Amino acid sequence: MNYEKALSFYKNDKTLQLLRAEHFPLLVAFFHLAFKQQDKISYMQSELQSLLGDYIYGLQRQGIDDYTNGFPTITVNEKYAEYCR
């Protein structure tokens, strides 16, 4: 692999984009809850949306809201749609 190919991979790979995302801690914690702690490998979209909504609500109840970074609050459906892009 040469430098140009590695750079292209770094800039365009979805997994690497996820690792660089500002919501990385939120995503990792949610995925750990949804898949590892629940011992599941798949969900219906509605189940995952509901679980994400519950997770975000739980964070808000704990006073954790730094994952918003000053951005307006968006709905669970919008966050899920953003993630799926």
Q: Are 76 and 49 in contact (CB under 8 A)?
A: yes
Residue 66: per-residue pLDDT: 76
User: What tens digit of pLDDT does each residue of 23-74 get?
Assistant: 888 888 999 999 999 999 999 999 999 999 999 889 888 888 776 654 445 5
Q: Cite the DSSP H helix spans in the chain.
A: 3-12, 14-20, 24-31, 45-61, 76-84
**Tokens representing residue 72 in the block:** 């307006």
